[in-house]
Structure 1
Amino acid sequence: DALRLLVFASAFSLLEWTRGHILTGFPWNLPGEAWRAGSAPSQAAAVVGAYGLTWITLAIAAAPAVWRDGRSGRIAVGSAFAGLVLLYAGGAARLALDRPATPQAATLVRIVQADVPQSIKWDAASFQDIVGRYVDLTSRPYQGRPADLVIWPEGALPAAINDYLVPGSWVRQAIVDALQPGQRLLIGGYRYEGPADKPVYYNSLVALRRDADDIVLVGVYDKHRLVPFGEYLPMDGVLTALGVRSMAHLSDSFASGPRPAPLRIGSDLLVQPLICYESLFPRLARPDPAVRALVNVSNDAWFGVTSGPLQHLNLASYRAIETGKPIIRATPTGVSAMIDAHGRVVGGARLNLGQAGVIDVALPPEFSGTLFSSLGHWPYFLIMGASLLASRQVRARKIPRTGGQKINKKS
């Protein structure tokens, strides 16, 4: 009946929560994120987050299974239908009525997608060509005012940031020549710290600014949530001894950076970086209210020509809905896009799989805040708490009560 339906939705969504939090977690394609980001139903994530929307989606989808359970089953199906209508109506109203709290001066952004396949990226003979692709796209003439901010994706250049940005290097000079005076550039890549015989590596996003005839370092963000078996080996000592490190083709693991914090790349611009699959985690994307936008750089070239990059775009877009902040998304082979605060790709501001080019677009407005950005997962926890009470009711029904009277047995 209806109570069992609630218990099912709660148990399923609790398993999804566990999948997203055990060890480092891998919350890929939550049921609540099956709705196209930017659609009317997806807007519920601004209130209850992706996990709360997962519970709602599961409850609605499972409702037809209890149709034959008498009156309570029909009530459950009717309630699910009403919930579906509310998802669409409420979401449509939010899309139509939600407006930015205050007007904002336009920040112009150039997103660079060089379409460098993973198969050639680490070929030493291709390094100069890869650098050339990025600087040529970066220096393309503008139709109007030059961009304030240029974004290169995760792992844009296949070398350590420390090495190719060393003063006097030809790569550094090429980057200087590609930028306009005062322009800021965000580059994703790896860097190292510590002694030469035992360096510590980070997957990072560095912010640079061109001043006069050189570039200066503005800030650094180090990836906090690393991909297990891709960027680090869990229980390193034990699994290395078992040969797992060699099977996973891992040499040196990345070190985890501090918990995500905003990156100030100018007196007028504070952004929240999310590197690669950090964009899957709602908690990591809840930024300081002063943050103007989320910046998601990702190397989705690993997926090849599959649905993976399209899925990742949809999942990352949910962080815009939850936080009320636009997302600037840059990848080497697609899909790169500018996403507004409702999770929609801004018209035309998209480069698909296999495309090389730039996106020149104004940063969309942010909104004053969402319920999720204020309360986080508490609405979801309240839903789960109510469902737990329902499960106790279901259990109580199955236990016959004797009222303390002794039950006689016939021999």
Structure 2
Amino acid sequence: MQRLASLYRHLEGHSLGRAGLALGAGLAAALAHPPFGVLPGLLGFAVILRLADQASPRRPLASAFFRGWLAGLGYFALSVWWVTEAFLVDAAAHGWMAPFALVLLAGGLALFWGGGIWLYRLARPQGPARMLVFAGALALAEWTRGHIFTGFPWNLPGEAWRAGGAPSQTAALVGAYGLTWITLALAATPAVLPGLARRQALAVSGAAIAVLAGLYGGGAWRLATAPAPRDTAPLVRIVQADVDQKTKWRPENLDLIFDDYVRLSALPAPRRPDVVIWPEGALPAVIDDLLAPGQPYPVVLAQTFAPGQVLMLGANRVGLGENGAFDYFNTLVAFRRMETPGLEVVGIYDKHRLVPFGEYLPFGDTMTRLGLRSLVNMPADFTPGPPPQPLTLPGLPPVQPLICYEALFPRFTAQAGVRGGIRAEWILNVSNDAWFGATSGPWQHLNLASYRAIEEGLPMVRSTPTGVSGVIDSRGRLQAGAWMSQGRRGVIDAQLPPPEGPTPFSRLGALPFAIMLLVSGAIVGVSFIRRRGRGAGRPHDFANVAQVD
């Protein structure tokens, strides 16, 4: 430990060393997320706070921004490196974009961290509570990242706790952004301890330990009081056909893939599934073409399913736009087998939040002139669907679909319920994680999606073509024996876990997070008043912190 401390002090004394510390601190914090799960990596935020406190006195704001940006660069480079896999699916057309995509995405997202650390330094907080100001500034930056330009809230610091574990249960009270504020404050606490009087250090440490114990203790109690399963719950079958994205869209593979899904859907079971689920974009075709008169696919599906059974599958759909051109939608279609042989469409959900650059190009005309296009296997970008509402399907509880990317957004389901005038009783997340291969991306996506179950108090069914698929209860836990990892082919048959009443977060929304930000702001205000009381022109604004540059 002494050698590590000596090395740290050595690095801290040189500009390149401080840059390396910032980059390394971000990398360490990213290691806390699945599939790594190295929670001590969260202490990287303590290093970031210390580096912000030690920003150059000559240009403190610029120095703080740069160090925050470097930390964010490390964090997001490790968090989103899997995005390069999507460009390698069709390497001949898109492979050249992969390194640029990673650099631009990680560097662009890091700007939010740079802004958050800049804001922290601008506030000039003093004393042992400044980790709460740090938490407020960086959490606000993360909230902005999750909302601006449609938002990309991937791997919020508060979602580093494994979904379904005790600390993650706090999201039912304050949501992922509120848990981010708490996580940042806890992780940054060690940075304010050096130089404090013994009594102050004990008080700050004791408070942090009490909060951490509350996360684990309160979460354990909540997990122990989960609602009991219901014998009458619908039986769900998830079909994971393990279809490789690189070969999926070859024309000769359509019938092979369709037949594979049909065979898996028809596997015998002790109890007939009430609903069968195929993942996002299950078939390499437009659903309108498959259902056209004379096509064999509707006949085969009608023969596969029993009367009353529901099939929900992700598909590409075509519609006629207002200007007479075709619009393309990323869609979830629900079919019901009628008593007479045949299928009827009983529900359609068009994806509302599209992935920038993946499903549509921001500033499309300009990007197209530069030779760029989205990654969709369609003649044009997808069109966003209308604001979402729960689907009410025959014989099933109301369901809120989330297609892929939509599972990243807190309160998406609650807001859809308000809009539709009915609360969903389960969430269906269909996703095509085959784009990201056998990387960390699908595991992280599973973790993030599971937080939506915790926040809403609703079970989730998750269907992907290559994994990870499974049934998740209202506490965010994958059900034993009801999930399938990457690279496996088969079906998951499981009863739908019970929903619970609306959680505090689903009722209060952003209010708890707003209160946390107000606490951070109040500390800034108190620090400002104290500085004014001591008089202007003091040479040192940060309590017990030495300036180094």
- TM-score bracket, normalised by the shorter chain, equals over 0.9
Per the alignment, residue 106 of structure 1 pairs with 233
Cα 1:268–1:352 change in 2 (3 A) is closer
- More displaced 10-residue stretch of structure 1: 10-19 or 70-79: 70-79
Higher relative contact order (CA 8 A, sep 6+): 1
Decide whether the 8 Å contact of 1:230 with 1:250 is kept in 2.
Answer: no
* Cα distance in 1 between the residues matched to 2:141 and 2:354: 21
Q: Does 2:302 correspond to 1:194? A: no
Per the alignment, residue 306 of structure 2 pairs with 180
Q: Does 2:491 correspond to 1:362? A: no
Cα 1:266–1:2 change in 2 (3 A) is farther
Post-superposition offset of 1:171 = 1.5
Cα 1:80–1:330 change in 2 (3 A) is same
Q: Does 2:255 correspond to 1:128? A: yes
3-state SS of 1:79 partner: helix
**Deviation sequence 1:327-352 (CA, Å, 0-9, x none):** 01000000000000000011110111
Decide whether the 8 Å contact of 1:52 with 1:380 is kept in 2.
Answer: yes
Per the alignment, residue 35 of structure 1 pairs with 161
In the alignment, structure 1 segments of 5+ residues that lack a partner are 404-411
Per the alignment, residue 24 of structure 1 pairs with 150
Post-superposition offset of 1:86 = 0.3
- More displaced 10-residue stretch of structure 1: 148-157 or 90-99: 90-99
* Cα distance in 2 between the residues matched to 1:308 and 1:150: 25
Per the alignment, residue 210 of structure 1 pairs with 337
Q: Does 2:452 correspond to 1:319? A: yes
Cα 1:364–1:27 change in 2 (3 A) is same
Post-superposition offset of 1:246 = 7.8
Q: Give TM-score scaled by structure 1 length.
A: 0.93
Cα 1:28–1:257 change in 2 (3 A) is same
Per the alignment, residue 48 of structure 1 pairs with 174
**Higher strand residue share:** 1
- More displaced 10-residue stretch of structure 1: 326-335 or 281-290: 281-290
Per the alignment, residue 292 of structure 1 pairs with 425
Q: Does 2:483 correspond to 1:333? A: no
Q: Which amino acid aligns with 2:145?
A: R
Cα 1:248–1:370 change in 2 (3 A) is closer
* Cα distance in 2 between the residues matched to 1:250 and 1:23: 23
Cα 1:361–1:394 change in 2 (3 A) is same
Post-superposition offset of 1:248 = 9.6
Q: Which amino acid aligns with 2:305?
A: L
Q: Does 2:514 correspond to 1:381? A: yes
3-state SS of 2:389 partner: coil
> Between the two proteins, what is the percent identity of the paired residues?
52
- Size of the alignment, in residue pairs? 401
Q: Which amino acid aligns with 2:220?
A: A
- More displaced 10-residue stretch of structure 1: 254-263 or 215-224: 254-263
Post-superposition offset of 1:357 = 0.4
Post-superposition offset of 1:84 = 0.3
Decide whether the 8 Å contact of 2:360 with 2:374 is kept in 1.
Answer: no
**Deviation sequence 1:270-297 (CA, Å, 0-9, x none):** 1000000100001212253631200000
Decide whether the 8 Å contact of 2:358 with 2:374 is kept in 1.
Answer: no
3-state SS of 1:125 partner: helix
Decide whether the 8 Å contact of 1:262 with 1:273 is kept in 2.
Answer: yes
* Cα distance in 2 between the residues matched to 1:166 and 1:339: 36
Runs of 4 or more off by more than 4 Å in structure 1?
A: 246-251, 400-403
Post-superposition offset of 1:356 = 0.5
Per the alignment, residue 7 of structure 1 pairs with 133
Per the alignment, residue 243 of structure 2 pairs with 116
Q: Which amino acid aligns with 2:473?
A: D
3-state SS of 1:229 partner: coil
**Higher helix residue share:** 2
- More displaced 10-residue stretch of structure 1: 274-283 or 384-393: 384-393
In the alignment, structure 2 segments of 5+ residues that lack a partner are 1-126, 537-549
Q: Which amino acid aligns with 1:206?
A: V
**Deviation sequence 1:210-259 (CA, Å, 0-9, x none):** 01211000010000000000101112233333433389998511111112
| Residue correspondence of structure 1 range 78-117 to structure 2 within 5 A | 78-99=206-227, 105-117=232-244
Per the alignment, residue 261 of structure 1 pairs with 389
Per the alignment, residue 409 of structure 1 pairs with none
**Deviation sequence 1:124-180 (CA, Å, 0-9, x none):** 1111110011000001111x2201111000000010011112243112222222212
Post-superposition offset of 1:267 = 5.2
Post-superposition offset of 1:2 = 2.8
* Cα distance in 1 between the residues matched to 2:210 and 2:477: 25
Q: Which amino acid aligns with 1:41?
A: P
| Residue correspondence of structure 1 range 140-159 to structure 2 within 5 A | 140-142=267-269, 144-159=270-285
Per the alignment, residue 372 of structure 2 pairs with 244
Per the alignment, residue 166 of structure 1 pairs with 292
